[in-house]
Amino acid sequence: MPLPPEVLEDIKGKIDAAEERVKEIEDVLADLRATGVGIGEQEERLKAAKEDLRHLRLFYERQSKRVGATS
C-alpha cells in the first residue's frame, strides 16, 4: 500500500532539507581541512549519513511512483 501523498510531500521536504544541511557540513569540513584540523571521524560520519540519505531518496522515489500508478 503506497503512502498518502501528504506524507510523501513531508518526506520530500525533509529529504531536501537534509541534503542542504549535508552541503553546509561539507563546506564546514572543507574549511576545517584547509586549516589542518583532523576530520577523519567527521568525514566517515558524513559519508554514512549521505548513504542513509541516498537510501531515503530511493524509498521516496519508489513510493512516489506507486502513488502515481494508483492515482
Q: How many domains in the chain?
A: 1
How confident is the model over 7-18, as a mean pLDDT? 96
Q: Look at residue 11 and tell me whether its pLDDT is greater than 70.
A: yes
Query: Which residue range is the domain that position 30 belongs to?
Result: 5-70
Q: How do residues 29-67 score in pLDDT, each as one tens digit? A: 999 999 999 999 999 999 999 999 999 999 999 999 988
pTM over the 0.85 mark: no
DSSP for 28-42, please give it.
HHHHHHHTT---HHH
Alpha helices in the chain (DSSP H): 5-34, 40-70
Q: Is residue 70 very low, low, confident or very high in pLDDT (cuts 50, 70, 90)?
A: low
pLDDT value at residue 68: 79
